Amino acid sequence: MKVYVSSLGCKLNQSEMDSLAGELAAGGHELVSSPAEADLCVLNTCAVTHVAAQKSRQALRRLYRDNPQARLIATGCYAEIAPEDLGGMAGVERVVGNREKGRLAEWIGDSAPERAAPAPVRSRTRTRALIKIQDGCDNACTYCIIHVARGPQRSRPAGEILGEVQARLADGHKEIVLTGVHIGAYGRDSQREPAETDLWALVGRILAETDVPRLRLSSIEPWDLSEQAFRLWDDPRLCRHLHLPLQSGCDATLRRMARRYTTAEFSAWVTAARAAIPDLAVTTDVIAGFPGETEEEFAQSLAFVESMAFSRTHVFPYSARAGTPAAQMPGQVPAQVKAQRARVLRDAAAASQRAFSLSFVGRTLDVLWESQQGRGEHTMWSGLTDNYLRVATRSSANLVNQLVLTRLVALSGSALQGEIGT
């Protein structure tokens, strides 16, 4: 059977669909690159905000419009929390929540033809392999629906993860990204005593037991950092990039969010990380217009965000999610105010990102080249440094999936311009 697999939202969602694609290929199915070619389409949905849920519905409608004859399966977070919203949509044959997602390949596999030697499936980035190390979350941030959609914290066995890392490296991937809902809680499952391991022991094992060229962590809660962990960055293969979600730069707002730190503690963690890891990129998430956020609280949050000099900031207007405490809080901020505050934060984030990027002009760093536009001598390549700087260069050579020392010569827009061989 010809299957088209797609995903919206986070790296965890992408990782799950990459794994599903591999299972389906191993079972004899043919993975196709467009829904028009498919007998079956699978969409991994997102519900982190109302906009994400809307995009999930739009994506399902688009899949049906592109190929009304194809069977259509909706899975993921939106399918978990609101299956009734998706089950009645045109063409949707089955809605599969997160708790049953692991059986998708089994269900689909019943109609697969036999094939003796399935081709390996690479992740869609080709260069970076996203590996899920855990699922679920035991936190209860008042704005978040994901701990409902994903359930409690559950960690994969370390040996299983190491085996997948080795397989992805054998497929040719140059960067491994460890992903999950709360990867810093890896190994601390409530039902497991004592813990088999923790995130930092897992990272140490991957560095010690594999020849991974690059290892990157996805989002990690700031309280999961430790002085012991910082020693792991003595190995240059561990990417100098930490995504530490802040959510607000105001202590009163953080308390309403049920976040587990103050701005002073967050600042101290970042300061310690930067001192231990030279040239570290610290990226973050910030919510604008959380319930009860006054003009004074927003001003405090903005000032703190500006003071932290993040290399990249994802700004989200607060999105009320049914079933979360924040949706019932007094002082809901009007949509136009949330949008205006988000614009101000994004302007500050752009200035901070620009300053971080400019600080590397004149430096030479390894770039992992990922994608290209054009052909021949006019080919423009795009890639990433280990500390998450986007770099572009013009080259007629085939750079895809190559780690190449590149001199960063200028900043153009949001990307640094690179020169190879100088």
CA dist list (Å): 213 to 19, 131, 304:
21, 15, 35
pLDDT in tens, 230-252: 999 999 999 999 999 999 999 99
Same domain for 261 and 275, yes or no, is: yes
Least confident of 224-228, 233-237, 390-394: 224-228
Structural domain ending residue among the three candidates 109, 140, 173:
109
**Residue 116 exposed, middle or buried by CB count within 10 Å (0-12, 13-18, 19+):** exposed
Helices (H), 171-310: 199-209, 227-230, 251-257, 263-276, 295-308
In this prediction, residue 378 carries a pLDDT of 78
Residue 340 lies in a domain: yes
Cα-trace Rg, the chain: 22
Q: Say what the pTM is.
A: 0.89
In this prediction, residue 116 carries a pLDDT of 37
Over range 392-416, report the average pLDDT.
Answer: 94
Element of type H or E holding 106: helix 104-109
Same domain for 316 and 230, yes or no, is: yes
* Contact assessment for residue 335 and residue 291, using Cβ atoms and an 8 Å cutoff: no
Residue 14, domain CATH: 3.40.50.12160
Residue 270 pLDDT greater than 70, yes or no: yes
Task: Classify the C-alpha dihedral 134-137-138-139 as positive or negative.
Answer: positive
- 3-state DSSP assignment of residue 220: coil
Residue 116 lies in a domain: no
Same domain for 344 and 390, yes or no, is: no
How many Cα atoms within 13 Å fall on the side-chain side of residue 60?
28
Same domain for 156 and 262, yes or no, is: yes
Same domain for 205 and 260, yes or no, is: yes
Same domain for 322 and 375, yes or no, is: no
Least confident of 1-5, 186-190, 219-223, 377-381: 186-190
Q: How many other C-beta atoms are found inside a 10 Å radius of the C-beta of residue 49? A: 19
pLDDT in tens, 138-150: 999 999 998 888 9
Torsions phi, psi of 41, nearest 5?
-120, 135
* d(C-alpha 20, C-alpha 101), whole Å: 9
In this prediction, residue 126 carries a pLDDT of 66
- 3-state DSSP assignment of residue 70: coil
pLDDT band at 97 (very low <50, low <70, confident <90, very high): very high
Structure tokens at 102: 């692991």
* Contact assessment for residue 90 and residue 61, using Cβ atoms and an 8 Å cutoff: yes
Torsions phi, psi of 83, nearest 5?
-60, -30
Same domain for 259 and 233, yes or no, is: yes
* d(C-alpha 88, C-alpha 283), whole Å: 39
- 3-state DSSP assignment of residue 82: coil
In this prediction, residue 114 carries a pLDDT of 46
Render the burial of 149-163: b for 16+ CB within 10 Å, e for the rest: bbbebbbbebeebbe
What's the whole-number average pLDDT of the chain?
91
Least confident of 97-101, 266-270, 339-343: 97-101
Residue 281 pLDDT greater than 90, yes or no: yes
In this prediction, residue 88 carries a pLDDT of 87
- List the domain range (segments joined by +) for residue 385: 364-420
Residue 117 lies in a domain: no
* d(C-alpha 369, C-alpha 399), whole Å: 6
Beta bridge partners of 382: 371, 392
pLDDT in tens, 185-202: 999 885 554 445 899 999
Residue 216 pLDDT greater than 70, yes or no: yes
In this prediction, residue 191 carries a pLDDT of 52
pLDDT band at 302 (very low <50, low <70, confident <90, very high): very high
Q: Tally the domains of the chain.
A: 3
* d(C-alpha 359, C-alpha 356), whole Å: 5
According to DSSP, residue 133 is labeled -
Nearest 5°: the CA angle 35, 125, 39 is 20
pLDDT in tens, 110-159: 554 444 333 444 444 468 999 999 999 999 999 999 888 899 999 999 99
Residue 109 pLDDT greater than 80, yes or no: no
Residue 121 lies in a domain: no
Same domain for 324 and 381, yes or no, is: no
Over range 398-417, report the average pLDDT.
Answer: 95
Residue 295, domain CATH: 3.80.30.20
* Contact assessment for residue 121 and residue 170, using Cβ atoms and an 8 Å cutoff: no
CA dist list (Å): 268 to 223, 244, 383:
11, 13, 31
Residue 238 lies in a domain: yes
